[in-house]
Amino acid sequence: MNKKVQLQDLGKKDYKETWDYQETLFKEIVDIKVQNRNANAKLPTPNFLLYVEHPHVYTLGKSGDMSNLLLSEKQLQEKGATFYKINRGGDITYHGPGQIVGYPILDLENFFTDIHKYLRLLEEAIILTLAEYGLKTERSPGETGVWFDVGTPFARKICAMGVRASRWVTMHGFALNVNANLGYFDNIVPCGIRGKAVTSMHVELGKEVNEDEVKHKIVAHFQHLFQAEIVS
């Protein structure tokens, strides 16, 4: 089992371009697995963790409801945003500047074969990272992601998650609001959940946050939780 995870920070990158790159890496892993099965071989499969910041974009998961996008095509253009229907789970979400987006492309057979556990560990990496800033977050039953004040009228989400997995290979991932412009969330029903707010680290802390520092903290927790070896 290969527990090495190649960390790649793509910087600012177009959503579709990044999605295509994810698909390339995903296919590379799946092809090796198929080859191993057909030839009864044991070639190691690689794992990746991509960091990226996208220009303003809305994405709708395969089970999502188009009515949760509250903008017309013209209004999207006016806001400088794009829109894509994609092949992850979940409903609609927003990505943009000031947000850390992480795409783990892992062969879970290198770690464990349990999608539920995979999602919970991704959430835990974010929860532990936020705790380092004195922010107490938690899970919301039945709602993937990381939240504040679950079960109260003040419930608000700080990190959205949506993944795809096939042959135990993952893609897509998490989006943590660090210094994000939350006004862009007003144009959707985030994750299809009405009546619950969205927040960002800079709002909760009352100051701008160093995004590179947050990335390092997430990687450290990810490495520990997945018992992985992060390589650059």
Q: Which residues are annotated as catalytic?
A: 191
**133 known ligand binder:** no
137 has binding-site annotation: no
* Spatial distance between the Cα atoms of 54 and 101, rounded to a whole number of angstroms: 8
**Residue 220 annotated in ligand binding:** no
Per the annotation, does 88 bind a ligand?
A: yes
Distance, CA of 28 to CA of 50 (rounded, Å) = 15
Tell me the residue length of the chain: 232
How far apart CA 138 and CA 199 sit, in angstroms, is 14
Rounded Cα–Cα distance for residues 196 and 213 (Å): 28
Query: Does 18 show up as a binding residue in the annotation?
Result: no
Please check if 160 is assigned to a binding site. yes
- The sign one gets for the Cα dihedral 213, 145, 202, 83 is positive
54 is in an annotated binding site: no
Instruction: Specify whether the CB–CB gap between 114 and 88 falls below 8 A.
Output: no
89 is in an annotated binding site: yes
Give the residue from 224, 193, 195, 200 showing the smallest Cα distance to 214. Answer: 200
- Is 90 a known ligand-binding residue? yes
Annotated binding-site members for substrate: 88-95, 160-162, 173-175
